[in-house]
Amino acid sequence: MTANRQAFIRNRAEEYGHDVWNSYVLPLYFDNLGLHEARKSVVIEGGRGCGKTALLRYLSYHTQFSESRNSIPKSTFETIGLYLKADTQYFSAFTGAGIDDRKWAYIFEHALCLALAEQITGAVLLINCNSERLDEYDNLERLDLSRAVGGFSDNPVPTSIFEFIEWIRVRRHQLARWFRNFEDSAPPELFPLREFLTALIDEIRTILPYLKDTVFAVYIDEYENLLDDQQKFLNTLIKGGEPPLIFHIAMKPNGMRTRMTIGNEAIQEKQDFRKIRLDEELKPNFELFTAELFFFILVKNGLAKSSTPINPLHLQDPEHIKARRTDERYKAQVLSEIRRILPGQRNSEIASSVLDDPVLAKRWLQLVNDGLRTKKSTLNWDQFWDKNFPEATIVSASLLHQSTKTPDEVLGEFNKLRQGVSSRYKEGDWIHHLLIGTILLIYLPFRQRPCPVYGGFDAFVSISTTNVRHFLELCHTSIGKFDNGCDFVNFYIPIEAQARAAFKTSFSFKEEVAGSGDMGNRLLAIVNFLGKLFRLSQGRPSQSEAERTHFCIVNDQVSDKTQEVINEAIKWSVFFEEPESKVKGIRYESSEYVLNPIYAPFFGISYNKGRKLDVPCNQAEAMFTGGVEDFTKMLRQYEKQWSINNPDQFTLGLED
Amino acid sequence: MPSLFYIQSGSYEGAAEPTSLAARHWDLAVIGTSANEELDERSKAACTFAAKHSLKNSRMDFIDNTPVIDDAKVTHGAICVQIRGCKNLLIEATTLNCPELLYLIRAAKKEGVKTISFLYLEPEGYRRTLKGSLSDYRDFELSGNRRFRSIQGFGSNLTEINPGHAVFFLGYEKARLGQALEQEETLSEWGMHAVFGVPAFEPSWEIDSMANNVQYLASNQFEARYAGAASVEAAYGLLNKLMSDNKEGAPIVVAPLGTKPHTIGAALFLVEHSECDDAILLYDHPQKNNERSYNIRRWHLYDVTIAD
């Protein structure tokens, strides 16, 4: 039956529940991770929306032993994943209230112990969730959990696994009840996590033959949200982790605030844990992965599999990952099909469409005339206008503003190009360096007009960086309701609709920054400030510093307070830190910071990493820790420094 | 099911101390300002009133997840001792925040206080725009510490309980709802309710709070609800109605992010149902800012009687 569905509306792992067996597309880096085989702790680091939670849920027992999985290979039993995401608002209250930190640490350990005990027993029950599986595995009645952990409690511990789960649930309720009324009730009996769980696992491994060699791997999600003492406790578990119980964590960049354990030791990378940077893993094949995901989602929403270039089962099978990655014909098919559905325009096409649009052409004319007038030239605008050379025509509008070039020189090169001889437009890379910048400059005052630079699959991939959620939201906003009975061969989204969706999505993710942790409001203010600053730069007619979307800090080291804000901005992917590419003169700082390109469509700036802005240290201090007056002062200062014409100021939208 | 608290409200126009309150007296008044704090006009007037009309008064705060009375960290038991023997109690809600209200109401209930009165002075307006500024922000909005953190006695582990209803009382600070949804992703499975202050303190203010939150409301399938911005009773009644309609006994998360009268109503509800996981607080502990309001438009006094 055909139906209209909002196919891309769900873009968070949380919306898919714990069992993602039917909905998870294996990322193309999956076989490089070695998580199933890991016997030492792994720290999975990744920015927002890169797929950390979905990956951990895929690895957890809910998915691996999912009822939807028909046959379970023996290798699945080698490692059983236990997924735990701490409720931040609950665990962050495990402090103060007249209880000393040491006691809170024991309570946290107990809470974690109960949650994991529930997961371990939950995994055993899920393995035996139906009659076929019971025939194959079972032996549950032989378990004696009282024998295993009875010594940890002053109260009787039930023998059977079914009663034990209930007993754990009651312990959890006791803890919750005490948390609600701890001054009037006695504290619950507390269990030591490692000892309790190891005893439980030992019993399970001894009695159940199918789990005799199993290692239980705990995946703690959102580690960055835990209090410092709680992080120290988990670091201790990482340091002391060994089969059959090991601990992995997932966190945002800069999420590990302390490397200390509860003793005097710190955990070390390589020695105690291996770090996987998920964004780096995702980057090389992000384009193919998002395209595969796109078709997978459409198939799950009722589109005939045969209408797409993918096989959903292959996307979910680890055996096919290598082929997906290396089969060039397959890759070309998938990418060509998605480019048909989300078509972009070549730069020359965009340039032509600008010249054909009366409003944009008028803006071009104004820029050219302003340039000629400023240079006191007697040349005429129409000498720079040739629709057969749209790209060169467009960039002439900027070249005529550049102080190092005369209009005669520019015209000379333009005419050489038209005559088919070597010209700096092509061979000197003028077009290459200035085209996108000049197109954006022409579009800049027309904020509501969809700019085709932001449309097309390739633009969507660039704007999303490695954020799957951003890509899916761009698709959702572009497509809206998808009719799975449509004539798919002729189905595509016009570029204007995509560009409009990019602007809308960009605005909505920008606003979402306010929700980014403790400094959300400040981070949003920083995004607005940087966006406006780069928009000011984008508004310079000469485009001598084209496509400026990143900065570095020069002259001195920033204060600890500023560094803290920068770290937080990186943690929440407000901007990305990269090693500095080109270094001019002497400087202390060796990182550059790229504004997340998802904000580019809203501010009308480039999503490419163009020229860099050097920010003096004292300005960086004000940028990251200052007040609103500092922001205004700095923007005014840059505006003056870059001497942007006043009439454009309103349309630059700095005051919205 | 009859409610535990019975609420009577009185509103008085103008900045001056209402003459009809001149004869009122309380055994104890609790205010929410420190000795050296610079106060805005309404906080000054409210604290002066509280001091003048009470036999004794105390200052209360909530620091590092711990209640503080007259600069000393205290336990729930110590708050009970402070209140013990009082027949009536004045809680100065203009200057006190949600955690202090919760601790005080809970202690008053335990100690058998007959009447709790809440004083709230409504300002004439808030400084919202910055003329000539290129920034979208005011300095106080840039301050940190907006983490949702439960407080002992009113919190629960949301990942461990079955989804129920989440009720957000909304004001014009747009970031707060967004932060709640970002930090508590587990709520995406809950029934969502957004409560707006309608009628607002001033006509058109409700448009601000709707406009500032609209992007989240649309994408999270919120059910919009309304309660008069100045009505403690409406907020309390709305929550109790939701509880009594909720036959399956699903838990209710309450996020008081809106007007102070709504926060009082939410606090009464939370204390009434705090024995188990039925009612759970979700709160982000905003920093106090006394510079953002000016003048006094109205006085409100809410007398709350506790059923025997």
CATH code for the domain in which residue B211 is found:
3.40.50
In this structure, the answer to whether residues A156 and A257 fall within a common structural domain is yes
In this structure, the answer to whether residues A139 and A251 fall within a common structural domain is yes
Domain boundary among A387, A414, A443: A443
What secondary structure letter does DSSP report for A305?
A: G
Say what the pLDDT of residue A464 is: 96
Answer whether residue A55 is part of any domain: yes
Contact B188 A628 (CB under 8 A): no
- How far apart are the C-alpha atoms of B299 and B305, rounded to whole Å? 20
Answer whether residue A17 is part of any domain: no
Band of residue A516 on the pLDDT scale cut at 50, 70, 90: confident
Say what the pLDDT of residue A649 is: 41
In this structure, the answer to whether residues B84 and B14 fall within a common structural domain is yes
In this structure, the answer to whether residues A310 and A204 fall within a common structural domain is no
In this structure, the answer to whether residues B217 and B300 fall within a common structural domain is no
- Render A109-145 in DSSP notation, one character per residue: HHHHHHHHHHHHHHHHHHHT-SHHHHHHS--GGG--H
B-chain CB neighbours of A182 within 8 Å are: 152-153
In this structure, the answer to whether residues B266 and B160 fall within a common structural domain is yes
Say what the pLDDT of residue A647 is: 44
Distance of CA A344 to the CA centre of its chain: 23
Structural domains counted in chain A: 4
Give me the mean pLDDT over the A483-504 stretch: 91
Tens of pLDDT, residue by residue over A159-169, are: 999 999 999 99
Answer whether residue B286 is part of any domain: no
Please give the angle made by the CA atoms of A125, A128 and A132, to the nearest 5 degrees.
165
In this structure, the answer to whether residues B271 and B150 fall within a common structural domain is yes
In this structure, the answer to whether residues A580 and A459 fall within a common structural domain is no
Answer whether residue B131 is part of any domain: no
Element (H, E) at B122: strand B115-122
pLDDT at A431 over 90: yes
A-chain CB neighbours of B186 within 8 Å are: 14, 85, 87
pLDDT at B246 over 90: no
* Cis amide prior to A244 (ω within 30 degrees): yes
In this structure, the answer to whether residues A469 and A595 fall within a common structural domain is no
Say what the pLDDT of residue A161 is: 95
In this structure, the answer to whether residues A220 and A93 fall within a common structural domain is yes
In this structure, the answer to whether residues B46 and B75 fall within a common structural domain is yes
In this structure, the answer to whether residues A501 and A528 fall within a common structural domain is no
Answer whether residue A147 is part of any domain: yes
Answer whether residue B130 is part of any domain: no
User: Among A96, A176, A522, whose Cβ lies nearest the Cβ of B277?
Assistant: A176
Question: Residue B115 carries which side chain, given as an amino acid letter?
Answer: T
Say what the pLDDT of residue A91 is: 85
Answer whether residue A469 is part of any domain: yes
Answer whether residue A12 is part of any domain: no
pLDDT at A585 over 60: no
Q: Is A485 helix (H, G, I), strand (E, B) or coil?
A: coil
pLDDT at A583 over 50: yes
User: Among A88, A176, A525, whose Cβ lies nearest the Cβ of B156?
Assistant: A176
Give me the mean pLDDT over the A63-89 stretch: 92
In this structure, the answer to whether residues A439 and A422 fall within a common structural domain is yes
Say what the pLDDT of residue B1 is: 62
Task: Work out the burial of residue A316: count CB atoms within 10 Å of its CB; fewer than 13 is exposed, 13-18 middle, 19 or more buried.
Answer: middle
Please identify which residue in the block is written with the tokens 């998360």. Answer: B253
Give me the mean pLDDT over the A593-617 stretch: 91
In this structure, the answer to whether residues B24 and B68 fall within a common structural domain is yes
Least confident of A270-279, B100-109, B211-220: B211-220
Q: Range of B12's domain?
A: 5-125+293-306
User: Among B76, B145, B178, whose Cβ lies nearest the Cβ of A512?
Assistant: B178
Query: SS in 3 state form for A424-471?
Result: CCCCCCHHHHHHHHHHHHHHCCCCCCCCHHHCCHHHHHHHHCCCHHHH
Average pLDDT, chain A: 90
Q: Are B68 and B61 in contact (CB under 8 A)?
A: yes
Q: Are A594 and A609 in contact (CB under 8 A)?
A: yes
Kindly report the nearest CA distance between residue B137 and chain A, in angstroms.
6
- How far apart are the C-alpha atoms of A640 and A619, rounded to whole Å? 16
- How far apart are the C-alpha atoms of A154 and A27, rounded to whole Å? 48
In this structure, the answer to whether residues B95 and B209 fall within a common structural domain is no
Tens of pLDDT, residue by residue over A439-491, are: 999 999 998 889 999 999 999 999 999 999 999 999 999 988 888 788 889 99
Answer whether residue A120 is part of any domain: yes
A-chain CB neighbours of B185 within 8 Å are: 12, 14
B144, closest residue in chain A (CA to CA)? A519
In this structure, the answer to whether residues A335 and A207 fall within a common structural domain is no
Average pLDDT, chain B: 86
Answer whether residue B141 is part of any domain: no
Structural domains counted in chain B: 2
Contact residues for A420 (Cβ-Cβ < 8 A; gap 6+): none
- How far apart are the C-alpha atoms of A300 and A295, rounded to whole Å? 9
- How far apart are the C-alpha atoms of B293 and B41, rounded to whole Å? 8
* Interface predicted TM-score (ipTM) of this complex, two decimals: 0.83
Please state whether the predicted TM-score (pTM) of the whole model is above 0.90: no
Query: CA A382 → CA A143, A379, A386, B140, distances in Å?
Result: 89, 9, 8, 54
Tens of pLDDT, residue by residue over A292-351, are: 999 999 999 889 999 999 999 999 999 999 999 999 999 999 999 999 999 999 999 999
In this structure, the answer to whether residues A438 and A480 fall within a common structural domain is no
User: Among A12, A87, A518, whose Cβ lies nearest the Cβ of B147?
Assistant: A518
Domain boundary among A443, A468, A500: A443
Answer whether residue A526 is part of any domain: yes
Q: At B302, list the tokens.
A: 């809410």
Say what the pLDDT of residue A651 is: 43
In this structure, the answer to whether residues B264 and B170 fall within a common structural domain is yes
Please identify which residue in the block is written with the tokens 């901005």. Answer: A569
- The residue ranking higher by pLDDT, B75 or B116, is B116
Q: How many residues does chain A have?
A: 656
Mutate to test the interface with A, among B142, B285, B291 (most CBs of A within 10 A): B142
In this structure, the answer to whether residues A328 and A355 fall within a common structural domain is no
Q: Range of A549's domain?
A: 516-651
Say what the pLDDT of residue A358 is: 95
Answer whether residue B107 is part of any domain: yes
In this structure, the answer to whether residues A550 and A623 fall within a common structural domain is yes
Band of residue B35 on the pLDDT scale cut at 50, 70, 90: low
